[in-house]
Structure 1
Amino acid sequence: MQLNRRHLMALTLALAFSSAHANGVSDKEIVLGTHLDLSGPTATGSAMLRNAMQMRIDEANATGIHGRKLRLVTEDNGSQPQMAVRAVQKMIRSDQVFALVNPFGSGTNAATVKMATDAGVVVFAPWAASAVIQRVSGNSPLLFTTIQNYDTTTAAGLDWAINNWGVKRIGVIYQEGPLGELMRAGINTAMQKNNLTVAAEAAYKVGDIDFSSQVARMRAANVDLIFSGTVIRETVGVMSEVKKLNWSDVKVLTGIPGRSSIVTNLGKDTVEGLYGIGGWKLHDPNNASDPEAKQFFADYRQQFGHEADENAANAYSYMGWFIDGLQAAGPDLTAQTFSEAMKNVFHQDFTTYAKQSWANNHVTPELVSIDQAQNGQWVQIASPTGNE
């Protein structure tokens, strides 16, 4: 009997799915893994992601999941793809994890997602450029992406800014690599929709801390809006240079990774007035009105002795969604039973703008708000809009 390509692919998937049952799943335990930036440029928030995941796991372990307890293995990726590759190889071969949950970084996930899914490991909620990760994985049925696509959300946010602020001369500062490529695609969509062209652009590399030349280029082009395709400390760096120039008549809008409470906490007065595209609800840890949010922040504070931010809340939320999938898969847990069950598991909690579901293993709907940093907090100035 000769096997054609379709048969070979089906056999490969079947072997991957069947091996997942042996990897990380026993009668009493399910082993999960994650890789976070615990020593690199975004280390400030990564410890909170780990803490929040463990907190949700502890809650699930109080009753168990079909007689099993969860165990989390955490590795440092330092925001470096090479470190992430070694970490994932170790978790697959030595720890034999069933799934990677909340792994952090676009470059680090792009370097590891196919390795993981090819080994039959579920990858759930990677903190990364979702469209890139889906493509790199070959649209694997074992990959579920929960971060809104940076291209579509950038397009929605920038389109709102153009139409509500009347800006015409737009400059772009973006990170080299998958994050910047997707944000740049979203910018192109918004610009074409409004018959505009980018007035100036400047790239930066992961790890850069000096943004004087990039902002100077924006100033020389006399832009009235800077789109800052940056993450945490880079967003603060861009705003710092804008303030040094006393450039008060320019607006700065950052994408989803930069609209973080870590940015307002670190930047303080430096980021006052910054605008951000938000993809999830924000709550004041000390004055949360939503009962579920209030409980989360109180529990986190009691266990870890400091305040959680919205990134910790999202890690907690995504872990909860993953656990709901484990429950729905039933006691006969394999990568295949999980993947099939998860497609019908909906999600809504204190972090979401609306009930979430899946479209081709990617979260839907993709809704974004426009927020502004005011007195050290993000304040919503435009209600959620986007891909419904």
Structure 2
Amino acid sequence: MLKNPRLSRLAVIALAAGMGTAMAQDVGVTATEILLGEVQPMSGPASLIGKAGAAGSKLAIAEINAKGGINGRKLRAIYEDDGYVPARSVTAVKKLIDSEKVFALTGTTGSSHMVAMLPTIEEAKIPTIVHMAPNPAVVSPRRPTVFMIGPDYDLAGFVPVSYMVEKLGQKSGKFGILYQDDDFGKALLAGYQKAVKQHGVTSVAEIPFKRGAKDFSAEVLSLKEKGITAVYLGTLTTESAAVMAEFRRLGMKPVIGTLWAGQLPAAVKLAAPSGFEYLIPDYYASNYDPAGIKLMALAKQHLNADDYANFNRYTVSGYVGTQVLAEGIRRCGPKVTRVCVVEQLNKLKDYNTGGLTGPVSFDNPKAQAVLPIKLFQTDPKNATVRSLTDFIAY
């Protein structure tokens, strides 16, 4: 029986079209690779954070690729430097999405910078993991493709103050706070005020300072005049050290708490000469926790000397954020699309990070993993930190 040539050709075309549809992948995905993008402050005053975050991403990618990738595809990332300037953040994310054609974003720089990038991210409907600066504005209102790891900043103010009252004999103390005069600082202030109210203790000073301030002599003198016995520093690295040096100069010995950036090795070393054993809350493990030590050993295998030298809690952040995105990709199987990854991340519950954090879950209305917090205390003699608690949910 003779075959109909026309029907045969149509069948071949239909089969090819069907195979093409079955094998079709999303932007940033090829048969062998998935392309990720990161916007990080790799230069400027926050480069310590950005370089560490990028190192964590590189570590996760190297580990995944060494094990064969995800369903046969290797991961690759492009890193854009925003210099910690919001306008540059927007330019960088547009380049990654429009020119580089990345599949997803795993590095999203600072708090106000992330907010500036949100319209571009929403328009592109690109899967995005926020793991460095958990700003409530990122998930309120809910952005369908954006997932945030970490509690709101107010807990960074609440937890240390509560510990001072409950464990460090400050029930009758006089409390004060120095905080950066922006949304970041005001969130810390809100947590401080919540703790003060909840525990019924006295707040005698709530003093704002301008971002980038270096001289805190007037603020610290005001705290001394008000007789503070416990203080919360809504400061970062150099500011914290400057304030503590001023406390020492004036002969003050308050109990001190600060936020997660206070456990960066550079911050601990800067503050060590003042001799204060200050409190630090964090939802990521420290370099001195068993999980952190294990990750540093892995980093020594996979990172170059420069990236390894930048290891700190933001390396843990970058590593966890990239591994979480990778899990969403993995669950999609061979056909990887943005829609599928977003769907899978929305279902993520109790993802185990091996002790680097508490379990990560996005199966909630905000798609925010509100992680439990561990409290640390510095050891100024050795310029290290030690754990005071396990990860605790608040």
Do both proteins adopt the same fold according to a TM-score greater than 0.5, normalized to the shorter chain? yes
Q: Is the 8 A contact 1:113 1:123 kept in 2?
A: no
Does the residue aligned with 2:392 lie in a helix, a strand or coil?
Answer: strand
Residues 191 and 268 of structure 1, relative CA distance in 2, 3 Å threshold:
closer
Deviations 1:89-133 (A, max 9, x none): 222221122222132211111211232123111220341133122
Q: Distance in 1 between matches of 2:177 and 2:293?
A: 39
Residue 375 of structure 2 corresponds to residue 373 of structure 1: no
Q: Which residue number corresponds to residue 53 of structure 2?
A: 49
Residue type of the alignment partner of 2:315:
A
The one-letter code of the counterpart of 2:61 is: I
Query: Matched residues in 1 for 2:390 and 2:41: separation?
Result: 32
Q: Quick one: distance in 2 between partners of 1:174 and 1:190?
A: 15
Q: Deviations over 1:289-315 (max 9, x none)?
A: 878435324325665474422321331
Classify the secondary structure of the residue corresponding to 1:386: coil
1:39 to 36, 43, 51: 43
Q: How does 1:124-139 map to 2 (within 5 A)?
A: 124-135=129-140, 138-139=141-142
Deviation at 1:261, TM superposition (A): 2.4
Match for residue 164 of structure 1? 167
In the aligned structure 1, how far is the partner of 2:105 from the partner of 2:376? 31
Partner-residue secondary structure (3-state), 1:252: strand
CA shift at 1:200, angstroms?
0.9
8 Å CA contact 1:236, 1:271 repeated in 2: no
Find the aligned partners of 1:384 and 1:30 in 2 and give their Cα distance. 33
The Cα of 1:38 is off from its aligned counterpart by 1.6
C-alpha distance in 2, partners of 1:365/1:53?
A: 20
Q: Deviations over 1:20-74 (max 9, x none)?
A: x643233333221111112222212422321221122122233122333222111
CA contact (8 A) 2:26 2:336 kept: no
- Paired letter, 1:296: L
TM-score (norm. length: structure 1): 0.84
* Contact 2:216-2:243 at 8 Å conserved across structures: yes
Match for residue 362 of structure 1? Answer: 368
1:17 aligned residue: none
Aligned to 1:349: 353
SS at 1:329's partner residue? coil
Runs of 4 or more, structure 1, over 6 Å off, are none
- 1:92 and 2:92 equivalent? no
Instruction: Give, in angstroms, the shift of residue 355 of structure 1.
Output: 2.7
Q: Describe the shift of the 1:192–1:57 C-alpha distance in structure 2 as closer, same or farther (beyond 3 A).
A: same
Question: Which residue does the alignment assign to 2:20?
Answer: none
Aligned to 1:323: 326
Q: Distance in 2 between matches of 1:122 and 1:290?
A: 27
Please give the alpha-carbon distance, in whole angstroms, between the structure 2 residues aligned to 1:96 and 1:239. Answer: 46
1:179 is aligned to 184
Q: Distance in 1 between matches of 2:202 and 2:119?
A: 36
* Cα pair distance change 1:311/1:191, threshold 3 Å: same
For residues 103 and 263 of structure 1, the distance between their equivalents in structure 2, rounded to whole angstroms, comes to 22
Given that residues 88 and 112 in structure 1 are in contact (C-alpha distance below 8 angstroms), is that contact kept between their aligned partners in structure 2? yes
- Cα deviation digits, residues 221-250 of structure 1 (max 9, x gap): 221111011222222222222222231x21
Is the 8 Å Cα contact of residues 81 and 111 (structure 1) preserved in structure 2?
yes
In structure 2, which of residues 104, 108, 114 is the aligned counterpart of residue 109 of structure 1?
Answer: 114
- Local SS of the residue matching 1:145: strand
Match of 2:258 among 251, 254, 257: 254
Aligned match of 1:244? 249
In the other structure, the counterpart of 2:31 is 27
Contact 2:149 2:371 in 1 (8 A): no
Paired positions, count: 362
Aligned residue identity for 1:320: Q
> Rg bigger for which structure?
2
Show the counterpart of 2:74: 69
SS at match of 2:222: helix
Contact 2:299 2:308 in 1 (8 A): no
CA root-mean-square deviation: 2.5
Distance 2:52 2:237 in 1: 14
Task: Determine if the alignment matches structure 1 residue 232 to structure 2 residue 232.
Answer: no
2:221 to 216, 225, 231: 216
2 CA distance for matches of 1:205 and 1:33? 32
Contact 2:283 2:371 in 1 (8 A): no
Distance 2:125 2:291 in 1: 42
Higher relative contact order (CA 8 A, sep 6+): 2
1:305 & 1:127 partners in 2: Cα distance? 17
Q: Given that residues 351 and 361 in structure 2 are in contact (C-alpha distance below 8 angstroms), is that contact kept between their aligned partners in structure 1?
A: yes
Residue 9 of structure 1 corresponds to: none
TM-score by length of 2: 0.83
Name 1:59's counterpart in structure 2: 63
